[in-house]
Structure 1
Amino acid sequence: MSTRPDTFQIPAEVAERYEAEFVPSLFAPLAVRLVAFAGITAGDRVLDVGCGTGIVARTAADRGGAATGLDLNEAMLAVARRLRPDLDWHRGDAAALPFPDGSFDVTLCQSVLMFVPEPAAALREMARVTAPGGTVAVQVWGSPQSQRGFRPLAEAVARHAGADAVDLVSTYFRLGDLDALVRQCDDAGLAVTGVETSEVTLHAPSVDAYVTTEIGSTPLAERLDAAAHDRIRADARAGLAPFCDTSGALALPFEIHLVRARPA
């Protein structure tokens, strides 16, 4: 995950918390799914665009791929380099990839495209750096209307930070129209060969842990004081209670889309 890193650099402690909490609970299983969906095999040259702390690149490497990760966020890259110093990590822009044409057999983008200011430009760049006959595979989140696990947090943010603040925590879902995304791929020179829609579950030890990391990894964190944070957490506890077990652990359902394509 990346959070508009061109305009918002998360602190190191948030990147570490993201890796410790969200990666094992959600993004690692998603990475396994995306890598399998892309059909990565041993020896494939793989690019992970918007790599964050590098879970997709690491997963591709574990399947024998020669993995490279790219992100604009220095804190995320610092974690990625610490965890897998053997892989190739680059700071760069998804809309201006610093690689020659046809450099990779497989280009992946997990939970990031919606944070890029110009997704169409990023898709064109992914098509450009992917070799003829190669694969581009992206994962995005479904539309806000389909995210029943997100509504309680959105409502709490709206009540305590204003309706406009919801946009800062709902950017995940702005590419949730699958038909529109397929058209964007076509316009970018990518021939779509497969799509998949399913529901995944985000696990967190508590509502407070989820809200703290969710807000802390978005630009909303810069707008809230401690009191507003506390009010949002308290409100979210009530709204998200139906998704908690008796220990207080949280399991939130989210819809995702996977799109697989080849450079046209």
Structure 2
Amino acid sequence: MAQNARSTTGRKKPRAYDPVKTRAAVLAQFGLVREVVEGLSEEQLARPSGLGEWSVRELAAHLSMAVGSVVRSLGEPSPGAAEVGLLDWPFATEKHAGRIAEDTAGIAASGPISELYGKVAAGIAEALPGADDDRVVPTRVGAMRFADFLVTRTVELVVHSDDLARATGVEVPLDRQALAACTRLLADALAVKAPGASTEVRIPPFAVVQCIEGPRHTRGTPPNVVETDPLTWVRLATGRTQWADAIENAQVSASGERADLVGVLPILG
């Protein structure tokens, strides 16, 4: 999914996320998705998702798989040391796209979507309360600290909740804390992908990061500023919205000669 794999070790310290809020966000957003998915008709589930060849059913199955992976990771022996940090994750997923598609198709064909969601909901409700945030768990991209892996689930949930809403025309509410965590992680990933301090990217009320090589400002308003809302940022960072379209539709304001992010977007494909 990511455009460039890279290690963040020693380059940028990940921001802190409140594990209690992250757990609540994952549970809340999955609950919101479940309510919508269980209300979809067979005709709606058979529609194209807008994501490659996936149907809405396969998109819904992928969402359940993203959350179910939390339960599966906790059920396996700990690998010991973490191999993947939180800011490595956005750049470590692309090479697994084929396997993800295969697993998604298998899950989608395994039975009724409502039963699948019920099973995942029961599993995560049981697994999360006693989970150790510092436990290292196996994930598709490598061993990760559990609390970090849970933050990545907010990205999966928010991005694909939005995909689901656009594919079906049914509103999928976004939990505020889930949207905040997703926004912040993708903003920090931008700063890793395009390091520097010449451009300030503002995504109120959740994140402000500096990026892009060039002259560093020391006081006052920086000469290069990009500002957008959280959902537009998520769509830009994942390639759902193109930079030129967002500018044309006034979804992004950009001022300064280094305020063009077209060369560094998307973060996730």
Q: TM-score, normalised by structure 2?
A: 0.30
Larger radius of gyration: 2
Higher strand share goes to which structure?
Answer: 1
Q: TM-score, normalised by structure 1?
A: 0.30
